[in-house]
Chain A
């Protein structure tokens, strides 16, 4: 389990506050720990994705609270369906965010993701977070637990599930195949690892640092 930052109001441990979408806060935390960065993670609820019109406002509010206590604040969100609203907040407050439209771009790379959709427009993407939380973030949110007959209304035009596996293990693989079965779709597993997120986080937090894969000479 990765520790998450102290609540707002307490003395920060790190120099940088990273406001992170709850769907990627954990892997962000692991990378921060491994790299020994002086960064505190402040997650926001992942389910905001279903009300993307609220994301920019929530980020702004938290950033304003955190700014006086840190030397800088960064945003671990992509555009995430805010359709530019998050960019406006970032521009106004002088913050940077992750590149791309959503975290799928961050994990797999924008070109690779675009290729999945152009190969099969009816692609539904899962991340480790979505696989693990599928019952809550997908099934319950879409009401499939209460109205199972809605499955085809949602997914009738879909042809496959693509799992962008970051840190796969047998349990996750089992959950991913259960999730695809639940949607009645075949599963394609693509091992993306965590280098995509690590690269984008490095660019976000340490824009001048050595790229991933290069061993920094001391």
Chain B
């Protein structure tokens, strides 16, 4: 297989969620001399983006998304230590959690995979994360961004409660707040005082990178 063929096959197998093939092809790609970055950015990430697009169009439903995400996670586990070895700097640190009272986590987990793939250091606090746990994690990990995920109309108000908790702890200015989840809109994000909203995983990565750049430019200015 040529490197181009390999990247194309890896893309297709990720799309199908064929985890064993994805892992084997990732290893084969490395053996062929492809860099971890190329495997990620020329194949795995575009494939997962296509998975997201198919979900939006209704061609894929949740299980197809999950198995594709799982396949990508397997490849990431192989690539992560290699990326660290090559000394590639992490793009930034992202603390993520599903808000208190909510146990939906598929969307959040997919965002995490894409963030990791794009070079973020992700600390996942899991589901049902109370405001004080977010405060604790921000103090501990000093992330660039904290992300709140919510999927139920009844749990969305926790965004505001979390932001209030950050304000009360005096750390609101230290961290960019991103929010997301199926019921969330830009208007809602603005209303609760979040810094950004993203509708899907690839938008989250793009916005997170922009926000970090802006934040760093402001600090160095």
Using a CB–CB cutoff of 8 Å, the interface residues on chain A facing chain B are 50-51, 79, 81, 83, 101, 114, 117-118, 121-122, 141-144, 146-147, 150, 153-154, 157-158
Measured in the bound complex, the distance between the Cα atoms of B128 and A141 in whole Å is 25
CB pair A50 B61 closer than 8 Å: yes
Query: Closest approach, in angstroms, between the C-beta of A104 and any C-beta of chain B?
Result: 11
Number of A-B contacts defined by CB within 8 Å: 49
Using a CB–CB cutoff of 8 Å, the interface residues on chain B facing chain A are 58, 61-64, 66-67, 70, 100-103, 105-106, 127-128, 153-154, 182-183, 185
CB pair A153 B58 closer than 8 Å: no
Using known A-B contacts A114-B154, A117-B154, A157-B128, determine if residue A122 contacts B62 with beta carbons closer than 8 Å.
no
Identify the 3 closest CB pairs spanning chains A and B, nearest first.
A143-B63, A157-B103, A83-B183
Measured in the bound complex, the distance between the Cα atoms of B127 and A24 in whole Å is 31
Using known A-B contacts A51-B58, A83-B153, A118-B101, determine if residue A146 contacts B183 with beta carbons closer than 8 Å.
no
The listed residue (B58, B66, B101, B153) touching A121 by CB distance below 8 A is B101
Query: Closest approach, in angstroms, between the C-beta of A110 and any C-beta of chain B?
Result: 10
Query: Closest approach, in angstroms, between the C-beta of B110 and any C-beta of chain A?
Result: 11
Q: Which of A50, A118, A143 has the most CB of B within 10 A?
A: A143
CB pair A150 B66 closer than 8 Å: yes
Query: Closest approach, in angstroms, between the C-beta of A118 and any C-beta of chain B?
Result: 7
Measured in the bound complex, the distance between the Cα atoms of B153 and A26 in whole Å is 27
The listed residue (A81, A142, A157) touching B62 by CB distance below 8 A is A142
Measured in the bound complex, the distance between the Cα atoms of B158 and A118 in whole Å is 14
- 29 chain-A/chain-B pairs, Cβ below 8 angstroms: A50-B62, A79-B153, A81-B182, A83-B153, A83-B182, A83-B183, A101-B153, A114-B154, A117-B101, A117-B154, A118-B101, A121-B100, A121-B101, A122-B128, A141-B61, A142-B63, A143-B62, A143-B66, A143-B67, A147-B63, A147-B66, A147-B67, A150-B63, A150-B66, A153-B70, A154-B106, A157-B103, A157-B128, A158-B103
Give B17's nearest chain A residue, CB to CB: A147
Q: Which of B100, B103, B182 has the most CB of A within 10 A?
A: B103
List B contacts of A144 (CB < 8 A).
63
CB pair B58 A143 closer than 8 Å: no
The listed residue (A121, A143, A147, A157) touching B105 by CB distance below 8 A is A157
List B contacts of A83 (CB < 8 A).
153, 182-183, 185
Give A155's nearest chain B residue, CB to CB: B103
CB pair A146 B63 closer than 8 Å: yes
Query: Closest approach, in angstroms, between the C-beta of B139 and any C-beta of chain A?
Result: 25
List B contacts of A147 (CB < 8 A).
63, 66-67
